[in-house]
Amino acid sequence: MPQKNIWWKEGIIYQIYPRSFKDSNGDGIGDLKGIISKLDYLAQLGIDIVWLNPVYGSPNDDNGYDISDYYSIMKEFGSMEDFDELLKGLHDRNIRLLMDLVVNHTSDEHYWFREARTSRNNPYYNYYHWWPAEKGKPPFRHSHFDISGNAWTYNKATDSYYLHYFSEKMPDLNWENEKTRQEIYEMMRFWFKKGIDGFRLDAICYISKDTTWPDVREEIKVKYDNDWANYYAHGPHLHDYLREMHEQTLDGFDVTTLGEASGIDINEALLFVKEDRKQLHMLYHFEGMMLGYEKSGYKRPDPRGINLVKLKKVYTAWDQVFEQDGWGTIYLGNHDQPRMVSRWGNDTEQFRDTSAKMLITFLLTMRATPIFFQGDEIGMTNIRFKKIEDYRDIETINMYKYLQSQNEDLERFLKDQQISARDNGRTPLQWNATPNAGFTEGKPWLKINDDHTYLNVEAQEKDDRSVLQFFRQLVLLRKHKPLLVYGRYELFDAYHPQVYCYTRSLENEKLLIVLNFFAKEVAYQLPYEVDTEPLVNNLLTFQMDGSIVTLAPYQALIFGPLPADVAPLREQETIFYKQYTDTKEKESGEPIL
């Protein structure tokens, strides 16, 4: 059993994207003072931990993920005094703070890089990765922000190429250099001493590189299925560095680390978070996020939609891996993803609120630390920009340019981006129905979704049945039921194509959770006899006949508590398995709903 009574296992994480949370001075950009003005709102959500996207000095090539000064606050966001006030304000309300730390790369405007690029003899030269031009062309490495992109860029003064897994304004730090690592650890200790409660570690699995720089194109094809993230996440000294980082920074502080684990497979999860390995406390995986996207190219949605059988398989497997050790996290959206209700639920007027509540129920009843992205608590939706000019995200813009250069289908790209683009999740938080949604007095840096006239915090505060109130109630339920944090998870009817049904049990209690993930009504036989009304229902209606419940579209029900040793009414349903395999044969592919 994983260790209990640990705040980062019991807490609920709420992610703040500062640029889009609340603007205090009318420049159209959210800022720290804006967050400070909403501290009571955060407290009233009942969340325990804020993950704040990067707020350090940055020229904003990638919205703060390109850091030019780890020791200061981005001017647009405010000052170090504002930061201290924010931290205190959070702590006064018993909310902890995780800073977002980017140490795979810096901005090219960071002092280290400005020095490094002047001469091969500069002491900072070895803080980065270089390929000397006299050796010919560097071995191909792929840059994530430009699919054709070469991750090496030529620098004249040193007559060498520098490496950047992301944009050319984000050179990768050389972790193989002990000095670089020491500077990073020192900086981390600076923030811990300030009193922050931990770090979300950006692209952390990419930090170690094979500096013999082999030509890996063939290996990427064969071993990594053409997935560069996977290759990047398997550098030779990754685990040595994580252990060293833990040793040199965490000791003596009650803090946590949450790693972004792009490119990591479930079989490797424990290598990172097994307690006695002393590396990371938690990570978040991408396996769930990639469901329903085609494998190669940009995040191109599979027109067949999402396969619930696969989704259950992924989340069940990720639960099991932490059954004995380590700890998981769960999320359905963040600043790198579209809106959760648009992607996994249904954002039409008819089903938006219900499906948002169903997804909230899912996240708050699984055995993992739940991470919500700002706006999820009111069910914010994708903005679905029609024109490239509306986008601000470097990922979308660079991909568009690249596809344009290749004469590819740009219309299709724009249509796909309406589903998958990161800017869908980044539009300003909708506080009220006024023209700028109460976000700013000025011109917002990114357009505000038109639906703010009816979908906003103020309206939902007044409505007892809003998504916001439902969110608060379920947060309270999780807090009062350790079972929802630590209890055993058991899946029922893995192959049921429409219903996700599971139990959580601890000591002598059990809860039964039944979720309809689709817009179709479905009759479903419960695996246990329940003689009471559900404890939680995201709708007003409830229809049950014997043990058969008729679930309305996107209905979410929680039954119980039942005694933990209650006998199931029936075996796991195998008929769905048969249907599943039949369809599979027929379509020679996985069945998709």
Which of ligand GLC, Ca ion, none lies near 102, with the C-beta cut-off 5 to 8 A by kind?
ligand GLC
Q: Which residue number is nearest to ligand GLC in terms of Cβ?
A: 65
Cα distance between residue 368 and residue 535, in whole Å:
21
Q: Residue 25 interacts with Ca ion (CB under 5 A)? A: yes
Q: Residue 31 interacts with Ca ion (CB under 5 A)? A: yes
CB closer to ligand GLC out of 143 and 555: 143
Structure tokens at 91: 């702590």
Which of ligand GLC, Ca ion, none lies near 416, with the C-beta cut-off 5 to 8 A by kind?
none
Which of Ca ion, ligand GLC, none lies near 423, with the C-beta cut-off 5 to 8 A by kind?
none
Report how many residues bind ligand GLC under the rule CB under 6 A: 9
CB closer to ligand GLC out of 62 and 146: 62
Which of ligand GLC, Ca ion, none lies near 408, with the C-beta cut-off 5 to 8 A by kind?
none
Q: Residue 62 interacts with ligand GLC (CB under 6 A)? A: yes
Minimum separation from the CB atom of position 202 to ligand GLC (A): 5
Q: Residue 202 interacts with ligand GLC (CB under 6 A)? A: yes
Tracing tokens 């020491």 back to the chain, one arrives at: 182
Minimum separation from the CB atom of position 394 to ligand GLC (A): 8
Minimum separation from the CB atom of position 395 to ligand GLC (A): 7
Report how many residues bind Ca ion under the rule CB under 5 A: 5
Among 21, 112, 166, 489, binds ligand GLC (CB under 6 A): 166
Report, in angstroms and rounded to the nearest whole number, the Rg of the chain calculated over CA atoms. Answer: 24
Structure tokens at 117: 């690029």
Q: Are 173 and 105 in contact (CB under 8 A)?
A: yes
Q: Are 328 and 282 in contact (CB under 8 A)?
A: yes
CB closer to Ca ion out of 31 and 377: 31
Of residues 225-284, which lie at the interface with ligand GLC (CB under 6 A)?
260
Which of ligand GLC, Ca ion, none lies near 23, with the C-beta cut-off 5 to 8 A by kind?
Ca ion
Q: Quick check: bond before 561 cis, omega within 30?
A: yes
Where does residue 568 fall: left (phi above 0), alpha (psi -120 to 50 degrees), or beta otherwise? beta
Minimum separation from the CB atom of position 534 to Ca ion (A): 44
Cα distance between residue 543 and residue 529, in whole Å:
15
Phi and psi, residue 292, nearest 5°: 85, 0
Q: Point out which residues pair with 50 in neighbouring strands.
A: 14, 97
Phi and psi, residue 99, nearest 5°: -85, 155
Question: Mask: binding to ligand GLC, 81-100, rule CB under 6 A, as x and -?
Answer: --------------------
Active site residue 134: no
Among 23, 197, 202, 260, binds Ca ion (CB under 5 A): 23
CB closer to ligand GLC out of 69 and 325: 69
Minimum separation from the CB atom of position 289 to ligand GLC (A): 11
Q: Residue 27 interacts with Ca ion (CB under 5 A)? A: yes
Of residues 63-82, which lie at the interface with ligand GLC (CB under 6 A)?
65
Which sign, positive or negative, has the C-alpha torsion 158, 159, 164, 167? Answer: positive
Q: Residue 29 interacts with Ca ion (CB under 5 A)? A: yes
Q: Are 256 and 304 in contact (CB under 8 A)?
A: no
Rounded to a whole number of angstroms, the distance between the first and last alpha carbons of the chain is 36
Structure tokens at 66: 């390109």
CB closer to Ca ion out of 32 and 380: 32
Q: Are 328 and 367 in contact (CB under 8 A)?
A: yes
Q: Tell me the angle at which helices 178-194 and 238-245 cross, rounded to the nearest 10 degrees.
A: 40
Where does residue 407 fall: left (phi above 0), alpha (psi -120 to 50 degrees), or beta otherwise? left
Which of ligand GLC, Ca ion, none lies near 25, with the C-beta cut-off 5 to 8 A by kind?
Ca ion
Cα distance between residue 196 and residue 478, in whole Å:
25
Catalytic residue, candidates 202, 376, 395, 423: 202
Active site residue 260: yes
Cα distance between residue 469 and residue 14, in whole Å:
16
Q: Residue 429 interacts with Ca ion (CB under 5 A)? A: no
Q: Residue 203 interacts with ligand GLC (CB under 6 A)? A: yes
CB closer to ligand GLC out of 10 and 336: 336
Q: Residue 336 interacts with ligand GLC (CB under 6 A)? A: yes
Q: Are 335 and 371 in contact (CB under 8 A)?
A: no
Cα distance between residue 290 and residue 556, in whole Å:
24
CB closer to ligand GLC out of 160 and 334: 334
C-alpha distances (whole Å) from 344 to each of 289, 292, 306, 381 are 10, 10, 8, 11
Catalytic residue, candidates 76, 260, 423, 573: 260
Q: Which residues are catalytic?
A: 202, 260
Name the residues that contact ligand GLC, by CB under 6 A: 62, 65, 102, 166, 202-203, 260, 335-336
Name the residues that contact Ca ion, by CB under 5 A: 23, 25, 27, 29, 31
